[in-house]
Amino acid sequence: TMNAGKTTALLQANHNYRERGMHTFLLTPNLNNRDGENQIKSRVGLKAPAYAFDKKENLYETVFMQHKQQSIDCIFVDEAQFLSKNQVYQLTEVVDRLNIPVLAYGLRNDFQGEPFEGSCYLLNWAESLTEIKTICHCGKKATQVLRVDQNGRPIAKGSQIEIGGNDRYVAVCRVHFKKRDTGPLFIPQMQLDIQTTQ
């Protein structure tokens, strides 16, 4: 779900490959441009350049051409929920035909509890699944996400895709998802004044 550290985990794994002299290829959907074009950036400030693809692009062909120019050791996909069914299949072909591992990071479901197309087929076709967890305001594992308006009130309707961060989405457990309960949204940051004496 949101705020579980998916992008941070992706960038850390990418760093591990590159630190060992391996070549990686990072993919991100071009609609995810809140932090700028052609990059993946986590909420904690880590970032890396990435190839931005659109919904109709053949990712097998894209990876194949890139692999011909520079041998690739691993593919990383951010915001993988935005993949199409065809693109998920194309990435399985990257694994099966080119023998390049693909690590895809994304949300399972949207703010209405409905699965994303990409997530649906990743869950069906992936060889292994790793859940990256975060918690609800009550302390239970968060499995859902609520979309909120500018005043922090939950929104029940709208388009499935709306790019946003902590100002628009709150991760919650199933119980609080059903209640549409976001809990405390904004916790004032404590400001500490440190004075030195001589």
Question: Which positions are catalytic?
Answer: 79
**CA nearest 62: which of 33, 28, 37, 34?**
28
**Token pair for residue 53?**
């693809």
* CA–CA gap between residue 39 and residue 6 (Å, rounded): 15
8 A C-beta contact, residue 5 and residue 37: no
**CA nearest 78: which of 103, 115, 46?**
103
8 A C-beta contact, residue 53 and residue 66: no
